[in-house]
């Protein structure tokens, strides 16, 4: 009898422990989930705070900036954007619109935009005008930003007291802003501090990324200047991202100045000498080669079955020099399975190129070595899974292979003759504007 009680007690104990463990597991999972959500939300908050900070600073910067907005009346518009995971309805409720108004505004906006896609990136500028006699809301103006376009929606009451939406094109004004800074922390953070928006900083980094390795090249104490055109709506106070007109990075031993210019092949950035800053990758990184197999599905010559070919093959004689498709850093080199002797060159944060089946590498190749466009990095061979000597060439965009022949990169432009003369005139005008903004800032 006593033995039996012990058995039951033990059994119960095990059962309880089991329950406890299951419970704990669920509890832990929940915690993990909450933790993930918390991290996500805190990243969002941090981003938002950084954005707000940058905006506040940019407002200070524009006040300090010499060019004055003609009418400096404070805009009666209130602006706000939906919070993380907030629906349009909740957002409007938070902005003190009543049920009827929300239903109407939602309907009106949905004529122009899929309201499910509205998120915190869509900034709204509100202004509610009330009828003096009835006290009723007579007009609601909304400016929304979406798909890179700005739309102004005027919501007006018709004779039946229903709201009607009318889309009005935004007529934006322009002003030039000059900022300068010294790197203490990183180009990114220090540029935010002087009032450049995240958008503009990313743009600048992107433009320079073909020539400057930001991870290695930037040192504290180095300086930068940027002049950009900011467009804004006078009525609401809405300010858009702006366009970089001029930038100078006094980094890695010298000023690297860039100027925006409308060149025949399209608007782009040029250095002082009139050479395009952006460089295209070489489409044929072997001299005198022909394409023997393009990008796409094909029957594999060795494996026998249909396989996706994620590169381009160039038939060339064994030992033909292989050239780096662009300036960059050697990220990988060595034997890599079917690829044989393989090199991966990283050109910037987005683009890398890979070279396979090499007979041998060029002298001095090592991981982390910087290479110039056109520099010999190796020689054509048939190492790995290859039937004959050829170069297998891949272009990686954000870590994934893309078709090199469909590469749409802005070609490297070099201005000459009359174009160069015109460019020099534009460049000098920009320099003058920069100089005058600089003087007024002091
Ligand atoms: Zn291939």
CA of 356 to the centre of ligand 1 (A): 8
CA of 271 to the centre of ligand 1 (A): 37
Q: Secondary structure of 58-88 in the HEC alphabet?
A: HHHHHHHCCCCCCCCCCCCCEEECCCCCCCH
Q: Where are the domains of the chain?
A: 78-168, 172-278+411-442, 290-406
Q: Which residues pair with 364 in a beta bridge?
A: none
What pLDDT, on a 0 to 100 scale, did the predictor assign at position 331?
95
Supply the pLDDT for residue 372.
84
Residue 310 Cα to ligand 1 middle (Å): 7
Over residues 28-53, the pLDDT tens digits come to 334 344 444 444 444 444 444 444 44
Domains 172-278+411-442 and 290-406 share a fold: no
Q: What pLDDT is stored for residue 70 in this prediction?
A: 29
**Residue given tokens 């802005």 in the structure block:** 410
pLDDT band at 187 (very low <50, low <70, confident <90, very high): confident
Ligand 1 midpoint to CA 393 (Å): 7
- How remote is the CA of residue 392 from the centroid of ligand 1, in Å? 4
The CATH topology of domain 290-406 is Glucose Permease (Domain IIA) (2.70.70)
Determine the Cα–Cα distance for residues 417 and 145; give it in Å rounded to an integer.
42
Tell me the average pLDDT across 96-125.
82
pLDDT at 145 over 70: no
Query: Quick check: 380 and 316 in contact, CB under 8 A?
Result: yes
Which DSSP letter does residue 185 get? S
Give the C-alpha separation, 58 to 200, whole Å: 12
- Measured from the Cβ of residue 292, the count of other Cβ atoms closer than 10 Å reads 14
213-225 tens-digit pLDDT: 665 567 888 999 9
pLDDT at 54 over 80: no
Rounded distance from Cα 286 to ligand 1 centre (Å): 14
* pLDDT tens profile 358-415: 999 999 999 999 988 888 999 999 999 888 999 999 999 989 999 887 776 655 678 9
User: Which of 59, 183, 173, 441 lies closest to 51 in space, CA to CA?
Assistant: 59
Element holding 165 (H helix, E strand):
strand 163-168
Tell me what percent of the residues of the chain surpass a pLDDT of 90.
Answer: 30
Tell me, what's the pLDDT at 316? 87
Give the span between the Cα atoms of 196 and 191, in whole angstroms. 6
Q: Does the domain made of 78-168 have the CATH classification 3.10.450.350?
A: yes
Mean pLDDT, residues 195-207: 86
Distance 365 CA to ligand 1 centre (A): 22
172-278+411-442: CATH, from 3.40.50.1360, 3.40.50.10790, 3.10.450.350, 3.40.50.300 = 3.10.450.350
Q: Quote the CA–CA distance of 273 and 412 in Å, as a whole number.
A: 13
Q: How far apart are the first and last CA of the chain?
A: 97
302 CA to centre of ligand 1 in angstroms: 11
pLDDT at 192: 92
Closest C-alpha among 76, 148, 155 to residue 109: 155
Residue range 252-268: mean pLDDT, rounded: 82
């Amino acid at each position: 009898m006593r033995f039996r009680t012990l058995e039951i007690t033990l059994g119960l104990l095990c059962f309880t422990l089991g329950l406890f463990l299951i419970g704990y597991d669920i509890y832990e999972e929940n915690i993990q989930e909450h933790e993930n959500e918390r991290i996500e939300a805190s990243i969002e908050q941090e981003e938002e705070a950084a954005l707000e900070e940058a905006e506040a600073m940019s407002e200070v910067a524009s006040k300090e900036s010499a060019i004055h907005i003609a009418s400096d009346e404070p805009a009666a518009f209130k602006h706000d954007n939906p919070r993380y995971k907030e629906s349009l309805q909740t957002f409007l409720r938070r902005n003190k619109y009543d049920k009827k108004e929300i239903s109407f505004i939602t309907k009106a906006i949905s004529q122009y935009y899929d309201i499910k896609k509205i998120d915190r990136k869509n900034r709204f500028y509100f202004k509610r005008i009330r009828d003096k006699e009835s006290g009723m809301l007579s007009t609601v103006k909304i400016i929304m930003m979406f798909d890179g376009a700005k739309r102004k929606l005027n919501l007006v009451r018709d004779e039946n007291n229903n709201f009607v939406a009318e889309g009005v094109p935004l007529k934006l004004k322009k002003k030039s802003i000059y900022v300068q800074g010294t790197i203490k922390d990183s180009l990114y953070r220090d540029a935010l501090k002087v009032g450049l928006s995240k958008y503009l900083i990313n743009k600048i980094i992107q433009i320079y990324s073909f020539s400057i390795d930001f991870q290695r090249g930037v040192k504290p104490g180095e300086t930068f200047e940027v002049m950009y055109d900011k467009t804004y709506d006078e009525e609401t106070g809405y300010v858009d991202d702006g366009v970089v007109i001029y930038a100078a990075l006094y980094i890695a031993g010298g000023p690297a100045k860039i100027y925006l210019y409308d060149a025949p092949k399209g608007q782009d950035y040029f250095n002082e000498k009139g050479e395009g800053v952006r460089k295209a990758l070489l489409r044929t990184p072997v001299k005198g080669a022909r394409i023997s197999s393009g990008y796409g599905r094909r029957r594999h010559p060795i494996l026998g079955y249909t396989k996706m070919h994620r590169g381009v093959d160039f038939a060339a004689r064994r030992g033909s020099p292989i050239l780096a498709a662009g300036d960059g850093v050697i990220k990988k080199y060595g034997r890599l399975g079917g690829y044989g002797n393989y090199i991966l060159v990283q050109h910037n944060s987005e683009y890398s190129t890979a070279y396979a089946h090499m007979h041998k590498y060029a002298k001095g190749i090592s991981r982390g070595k910087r290479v110039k466009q056109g520099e010999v990095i190796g020689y054509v061979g048939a190492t790995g899974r290859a039937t004959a000597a050829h170069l297998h060439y891949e272009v990686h965009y954000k870590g994934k292979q893309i078709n090199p022949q469909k590469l749409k990169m802005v070609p490297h432009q070099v201005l000459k003759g009359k174009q160069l003369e015109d460019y020099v005139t534009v460049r000098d005008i920009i320099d003058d504007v920069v100089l005058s903004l600089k003087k007024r800032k002091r």
